[in-house]
Chain A
Amino acid sequence: MSAMLSVQGVHTFYGHIEALRGIDLEVRKGEIVALIGSNGAGKSTLLMTICGTPQAAKGRVVFDGRDITKVPTHEIMRSGIAQAPEGRRIFPRMTVLENLQMGASSAPPEHFAEDLERALAIFPILKERQGQRGGTLSGGEQQMLAIARALMSRPRLLLLDEPSLGLAPMTVRRIFQVIRDINRQGVTIFLVEQNAYHALRLAHRAYVMVTGTIGMTGTGAELLANREVRAAYLEGGVTEEVVAGGAP
């Protein structure tokens, strides 16, 4: 299987701070790949580097065989990648419907009605709330809107940055279910998560990031069983009983 996205030896700087110190990873067509790591490890930075803000100082980002390292962000986002960014970043004064319309900016307009229907079918709550201003949605609804908005551009690769942040356990399970459904519809997914347990159960493969480098990689199940990973990212957060009994 060929890589849809491949990140090769990428270094990214914020001024003098080296946030990414040589990252190598790849995401293959049809996969769900998870990226876990502690706060400040550089996960969000990696997602943003893939999208071109900030651009990588060294190394290459290749999407569908095309080197996108120095391509402007808005062009990258028109080439089949979409992102639901950290902090959701929906447009607060615009309505749900308008936010979705903005998401469709880079898709051909004749697909709008169909795509809208598909997005609202995935998140029925958004259909009820379509006339409400984005800023007045609840946190969970905002997260759903951010994902739905990203889907509106018909991406082949969807980047998700901490979709479970600040959500109730029920909603988290629902979001992960939706991510799996979206993947089954043919969208490749690269997922950054703090909720390592859910992410690793969902992902085909995963990477562990430690201060700007990739510390470990393997299938989701392998990492879930790994003692180091359990000690660092699972223990205390999720108890054995839940691991045993709480299938999503």
Chain B
Amino acid sequence: MQKAVAAEAGARLEGGWAEMLRDAASVAAVSIALAIPLVGFHLIDHLSTTQVEFRFGQLFYAVAVIFLGRLGLLLIGAGWARPIASFTSALSLAWLVNSAASAVPVAYPALGWFTFLLAATLAVRGWHTFYRDTAGAAAKARQAGLGAMVSRAAVHLTPFLVLVAVSVPFYAVMADDKRAVDLGILIFTYIMLGWGLNVVVGLAGLLDLGYVAFYAVGAYCYAIVSIELGLSFWESLPLAGALAATFGVLLGFPVLRLRGDYLAIVTLGFGEIIRIILLNWNELSNGPKGIGNIPRPGFFGIAFTASPPEGSIAFHEYFGLDYSPMHRQIFLYYIILVLAMVTNWFTLRIRKLPIGRAWEALREDETACRALGINPTNTKLTAFAIGAMFGGFAGAFFATRQGFISPESFNFLESAIILAIVVLGGMGSQIGVVIAAIVLIGGPEWFRDLELYRMLAFGALMVAIMIWRPQGLLAHRDPTIRLGVAGRGGTP
């Protein structure tokens, strides 16, 4: 059967073999030139001297993989999409299983991962080509409808999803699974950040690569205010949001005239500036050492501690429970759940108000907006301010959850992940953000055992999504005004 397929495809190749081999060989030749310095030499540090070791085996392996990879790519183009895709899928799966279970030792682990990535890419490419060729237009139509379907379903599913979210801690208590609550907190933090950034990127169409700056401002604001002024979490929260919103406006002013790439670069710089200030302004932020002992939130003034200070009562005593560190985690979980829900509710509401509509229109055509009497300056600034405010809330929550913050937590990678959640979710889709956050944050947590390589898998996943759903997982936009509104009065 496999042979028949191969024979058929082979017939189609019509002596293209020689050409493909030549192509693959020339790619391999180039890769030798590149790989000699990158892979070929290895510095060995002896106590006093350094020695150079030539790694012939690795070099040969790398070049062979590249040769085969290129050949595979050409074969996919020549009609062998399915066999190549099946083979590479099996190969990458085998590698994953093997590395998770560490069954068979591998000679060169790093190169192994390189091979895995190549194989996975080929698999993605192969299946993509295969389905594009076979399914064609019908599949496209189905895909386009999926977004609409999911968001229609989401309307009915929302109460159910909220119920699931609310009951996670119950499950965790019963199953004694502390990790579930922690993971839930993490995912909801990112969902909230995603929803916040969605206002700026998804609705207003302003590409912001420095969103983490507002997260940092909120976190530091809470840390400093609660330690220095002794304000409680709930008192500090509005302050953190307001300060972050102010920073949003501060960022907004200089970038008002910028679009696209330029806007992205400046916001990226802004994110770095905030981080570097926090790193160096020792008097304010305690520099790289960070701020510790940040007060944890209490339950209406009742602390979650094993041994409360003299004269006060702890949460478990008040409710007559045995002390468990999980109580606080569960409380934190509900805080972030509520914060996220408020963010979602607010965004859904504001989309239907003139300002929200103006954001979306601005994303589509700024000139037309101006011609309709919309002030682009105010519109953009409010988008930055409101997006930043939610970032600030999330930051304050982060600080109270961790109890310790340092500039390290607010690097560019965070911005990139939040942006990835918004973009992969489908720019402006609220439920898309939830799905993307679960996949991107939950996924790597579940695959923690892969350690560093999970970031590679993360990259591969993003590539896969970009190939299959270039518009994002759910690129569907719900109209804010419905049919029938116009018909209400009837025609004159």
Give residues in A with beta carbon < 8 Å to B. Answer: 51, 53, 72-75, 77-78, 82-83, 85, 89-95, 97-98, 101-103, 105-106, 109, 113, 116-117, 120-121, 127, 130-131, 149, 153
Contacts and interface: CB of A to CB of B under 8 A. Distances in A.
Nearest to A152: B372
A97 B479 contact: yes
Interface stretch (B151-159, B286-294, B359-367): B359-367
Counting from the closest, the 5 A-B pairs by CB-CB distance are A106-B373, A77-B373, A89-B368, A78-B373, A91-B364
Contact of B477 (A75, A93, A105): A93
A213 B134 CA distance: 60
Nearest to B371: A83
Interface stretch (B318-326, B446-454, B484-492): B484-492
Given A94-B364, A116-B486, A73 B370 contact: yes
Given A73-B371, A105-B374, A117 B486 contact: yes
A109 B354 CA distance: 10
A131 B485 CA distance: 11
Contacts of B479: 94-95, 97-98, 131
Contact of B367 (A78, A89, A92, A94): A89
B481 A95 contact: yes
B357 interface: yes
B244 to A, nearest CB: 27
Contact of A153 (B365, B369, B372): B372
B280 interface: no
A74 B374 CA distance: 5
Nearest to A126: B486
B482 interface: yes
B371 A102 contact: no
Contact of A91 (B361, B370, B373, B376): B361
Contact of A98 (B368, B376, B481): B481
B480 A98 contact: yes
Contact of B361 (A77, A94, A113, A153): A94
Nearest to A109: B354
Contacts of A105: 354, 357-358, 372-374
B483 interface: yes
A121 B491 CA distance: 7
Given A74-B373, A83-B371, A101-B357, 4 more contacts: A91-B365, A94-B361, A105-B358, A153-B373
Contacts of A74: 370, 373-376
22 contacts: A77-B371, A78-B373, A85-B367, A90-B368, A92-B364, A94-B364, A95-B479, A97-B482, A101-B357, A101-B480, A101-B481, A105-B354, A105-B373, A106-B372, A106-B374, A113-B489, A116-B486, A117-B491, A127-B487, A131-B483, A153-B372, A153-B373
Contacts of A73: 370-371
A165 B147 CA distance: 35
A81 to B, nearest CB: 9
B118 to A, nearest CB: 37
B367 A117 contact: no
Contacts of A98: 357, 479-481
A131 B482 contact: yes
Contact of B372 (A103, A127, A131): A103
Interface residues of B, number: 30
A74 to B, nearest CB: 5
B393 to A, nearest CB: 29
Contacts of B360: 91, 93-94
A102 B357 contact: yes
Interface in B460-481: 477, 479-481
Contacts of A116: 486
Contacts of A117: 486, 489, 491-492
Contact of A121 (B358, B477, B480, B492): B492
A73 B367 CA distance: 10
A89 to B, nearest CB: 4
Nearest to A134: B364
Most buried by B among A92, A97, A153: A97
Contacts of B375: 72, 74
A120 B482 CA distance: 15
A73 B485 CA distance: 31
A150 to B, nearest CB: 8
A90 B365 CA distance: 8
A94 B492 CA distance: 26
Contacts of A85: 367-368, 371
Nearest to A117: B489
A130 B483 contact: yes
Most buried by A among B368, B370, B489, B491: B368
Contacts of A127: 486-487, 491
A61 B395 CA distance: 50
A102 B489 contact: no
Most buried by A among B365, B370, B371, B483: B371
Contact of B488 (A103, A113, A130): A113
Contacts of A77: 370-373
Contact of B371 (A51, A92, A121): A51
A98 B483 CA distance: 11
Given A101-B481, A117-B489, A121-B491, A53 B370 contact: yes
Contacts of B477: 93
Contacts of B364: 91-94
A101 B481 CA distance: 9
A106 B481 CA distance: 18
A78 B378 CA distance: 15
A103 B481 CA distance: 14
A102 B375 CA distance: 13
A85 B488 CA distance: 30
B372 A149 contact: yes
Nearest to A77: B373
A93 B364 CA distance: 8
Contact of A97 (B358, B367, B374, B486): B486
A97 B354 CA distance: 14
A130 B365 contact: no
A53 B358 CA distance: 19
A97 B481 contact: yes
Contacts of B365: 89, 91
Nearest to B428: A93
B356 to A, nearest CB: 11
A102 B361 contact: yes
Contacts of B482: 97, 131
A75 B376 CA distance: 11
